[in-house]
Each structure stands twice: as C-alpha cells, then as structure tokens.
Amino acid sequence: MLAKIKNRMSGTQMIAVGFFIIIMAGTLLLMLPFSSRSGESAPFITAVFTATSATCVTGLIVADTFSQWSLFGQLVLLALIQIGGLGFISLGATVSMLLRKKIGLKQRGLIRESFNVLEIRGAVRLTKRVIFGTLLFEGIGAIVLSACFIPKMGLAQGIYYGIFHAISAFCNAGFDLMGRYEPGSSLMGYQSHPVVLITIMLLILIGGLGFIVWSDMLDHKFHFRKYALHTKIVLLATLVLTFGGALLFYFMEGGRLFADMDGMGKFINSMFCSVTPRTAGFNSVDTGAMTDGGKLLTIVLMFIGGAPGSTAGGVKVTTIVVLIVYLKATFTRTPGTNILGRRLEDSAVQKASAVFCTNLFLAVTAGICICSAQNLDGIDALFETFSAISTVGMTAGITGSLNTFSRVIIILLMYLGRVGSLSFAMSFTDKKKIAHVMQPAEKINLG
C-alpha cells in the first residue's frame, strides 16, 4: 500500500512529505525531557517551531538555543540543520552509494528536484561533489572558528562551537550558541573580531552560491567565458548585491548603528549586514536597533536570497535578474529577453514572475494577519514574515513575543520557504489534465 502511494507521488510531493516527517521526528526528539537544559519536556509549539526552523535552515527561535536546549537537544538541531541544508534526498543517495547500491532513475529524478537542476544526467556525480564540498568547506570553517573560540572557551568547548557554527553558517541556518554570554546576542560579541566574521561570511556565500555553480566552476576553473549562463548570473548578481548592499548599509548605519566602530569595523560589519540576510540569519549588530531604512534594505536582501539549488532561501537571485532583464526588454521594446549574449525562454520569465508574486503575497498577507492578531509594529511584523518565507532567521526582536496563532503562521512560512511555495502549490496539479479547448480571448486595460 505504501509503495503504491509512493509511486503515485511526484518528486515535489515526496520532498514536501519527507521534510514534514523530518520536522515531526525532530519535534518528538526535542520534546524529550533530556533535550531541554531544565530536564523538563519542552512545550509542543516550542519544539515544532524550533524543529521547523532548523530543518528549513531558517534560524528563527522562540527560545534561546543555548539556554533552552541541552547538549543532546543541540545535537538534534545540528542534525536537522545538516539534513535541511543538503536535503534528505542527497543524504539518502549518499548512503546508497556507500552501500554500493544502484541509484535508479526514480532516485536520480528526486536528486534533480532536490538540487533544482535542469537535467537528470550527472545527478550522481553532482551528489558526490556536493557531499565532498560540504565536508571540505565545513571542515575548514570549523578549524578556523575553533582556533578563534578555543582561547576563550577552552579546547573541547571551542572545537564544539567551531563545528556547530561552521555547519550552521554553511547551511545558511543562523543558529548559534552565543546565548551562553547573552541570550539572543548571536555574533554581536564578535563584531570586532574580523576573522570570525569573515569566516562566517565566506561560509554563507559559498553555501548560498549553489551546488550547480560549484560543479560548473570546478569543471571550468577560472575560465569565466566557459561558465553556463546560470553560473555567470549567480556570480555577477552575488557580487553586486554583496558590495552594493554593504555600501548602502555603510552610509545608512555608519553614523548610527556603527557609530562607535572604527573604519575597519564599519566596513566589516557593513559587509556582514549585507551578506547575512541572504539567507543566514546571524547578526553582528542589534537588528532591532537598525534605522527603518536599514530594516527595509534587509527585507529586500532577505526576499532576494541566494542561488537556486543552494542552502540559501529567498526567491533567488536568478529570479530577480530575469525580471529585471524582462523589464528592460519591455521598456526598450527589445524582442526577446536577452542577457549576456543569450536569450531566455518565455517559461523562465513566467516562472520568475510566479515565484516573485507568490512569495510576496504570502509574506505580506502573513504580516497583515500577525498585525491583526497582535499589536505589533508593521515593519517589524513584515521583517519577521519575510525572514520566515525566505528562510533567513533574522528578527527585529519580536519572535519570542509571538502568540500561538502568529507562531503557526511563521512555521507554515518557513516550511513553504524551504520546500518552495510555488513548487508546493503546483505539486497538487502535476497530474491535472490540460484542456485542449482554450477560452476566447478578450483585451483588458492594464497599467
């Protein structure tokens, strides 16, 4: 019976159900008494919120990670983060390869869905590269961070913190254990420590570039002209957003949030404020103390997110680039949507428009619902909902004060953001019959 149901499910449906099962398993583990530092079972809503946030690599929390969870609970979160970052499909394929089992066509199709690649060819090779690259980057990050943490925390604690934060940063999860110094402080205690901040930033960026980009760069090294169009767009957009965002943060917050920092401190923290919304969730400064301009800029960066097939969330940089290029073609009355000497298919523009509108609608609607349920500042509520749907994890400081209704909304947004809101909606119409008779056309006024 189960096998029959499994065969009838589409790849997207299987991924959605798989993530749901992992979240529920994580919830049950976090509800165990020895998962909590107090030795008491955590409330269901707290456990399911935290499990969803970890599995969907978001980072929003209703209870400080260090203060609430024991070592066992923290290890559960770390496992959920790693599974959520890489995707359980790729981990399942890795286990099959280690056991020398053949990867069938169905599983290869799931890998294609999981990594958001266009072709099924090379799925196993890509999986091997993803696992090796993940271990390599997380390992290097853990070594560097451990070296920074050991002098203050001791050998064992420093190594553990180095590993935890390296995995959390690479998977763009945003979970931290710095609540041992001050609950909810994230990396604010290291805002004047450039090595820690730069290491975290590099892990976030590498994880957010996407596995497809890694593979293409590995094949063609530094020959930019040989890269696929997808790789070129992701790299150029990432550079523009990173440095452009940093420049805006420097001017908007330089005399306010960064007022007590020296020139280098302002530069590093401006860069960090530009990188972490896409979509890691760490913060080196008090996000709630940002100017409204800084918060709006952060919301924009959170909404954009990283690259497709990466550990990052958001509508993805390729979506935004496609829409911008399409607008340019419309304004200049240019036939076709062209970029970097190539023409994009019409389906790419349609999908980009659908993803953009779907996520925007969900975030704004959820923000209105939360404001209606609680007397909260509008921009802070939108900050929270955009952070959730984009699986970022940054907050203006209101997560802990959300009531049960608002927390359920955030949980749903985090889940849809990880699975893919558009993909999730379309998964229910995968097998819908297409009508061969079209409705008569009629013009309407637009704009």
DSSP of 292-311: HHHHHHHHHHHHH-S-TTSS
Flag whether pLDDT at 208 surpasses 60.
Answer: yes
Helices (H), 183-291: 194-209, 211-220, 229-253, 263-275
> 56 Cβ partners below 8 Å, 6+ apart?
19, 23, 84, 313, 391, 414, 415, 417, 418
404-419 helix and 346-373 helix, angle to the nearest 10 degrees? 170
Q: Please report the pLDDT score of residue 2 as a whole number.
A: 44
> Is residue 298 one of the residues assigned to a domain?
yes
The whole domain housing 165 covers 7-426
pLDDT tens figures, 103-115: 655 565 555 555 5
> Is residue 436 one of the residues assigned to a domain?
no
Per-chain mean pLDDT for the chain: 85
The C-alpha torsion from 192 through 193 and 199 to 203, rounded to 10°, is: -40
Longest Cα–Cα distance of the chain, Å, equals 73
> Is residue 158 one of the residues assigned to a domain?
yes
> Is residue 434 one of the residues assigned to a domain?
no
Task: State mean pLDDT over 422-447.
Answer: 66
> Is residue 205 one of the residues assigned to a domain?
yes
> 363 Cβ partners below 8 Å, 6+ apart?
303, 382, 385, 386, 388, 389, 390, 413
C-alpha to C-alpha distance for 69 and 176, rounded to whole angstroms: 12
pLDDT tens figures, 261-280: 888 989 999 999 999 998 78
> Comparing 369 with 307, which gets the higher pLDDT?
369
Q: Please report the pLDDT score of residue 325 as a whole number.
A: 92
> Comparing 292 with 91, which gets the higher pLDDT?
292
> Is residue 229 one of the residues assigned to a domain?
yes
- Burial class of residue 334 (count of CB atoms within 10 Å of its CB; 0-12, 13-18, 19+): exposed
Q: How many domains does the chain have?
A: 1
> Is residue 32 one of the residues assigned to a domain?
yes
pLDDT tens figures, 35-49: 999 999 999 999 999
Helices then strands (H, E): number in the chain? 19, 2
Q: How crowded is residue 122: how many other Cβ atoms within 10 Å of its Cβ?
A: 14
pLDDT tens figures, 299-328: 999 999 888 877 788 889 999 999 999 999
Q: Which residue has the tokens 């990050």?
A: 141
Most confident stretch, 3-7, 259-263, 407-411: 407-411
Taking the CA of residue 107 as centre, how many other CA atoms within 13 Å lie in the half-sphere pointing to its CB? 16
Token duo for residue 32: 């165990």
> Is residue 439 one of the residues assigned to a domain?
no
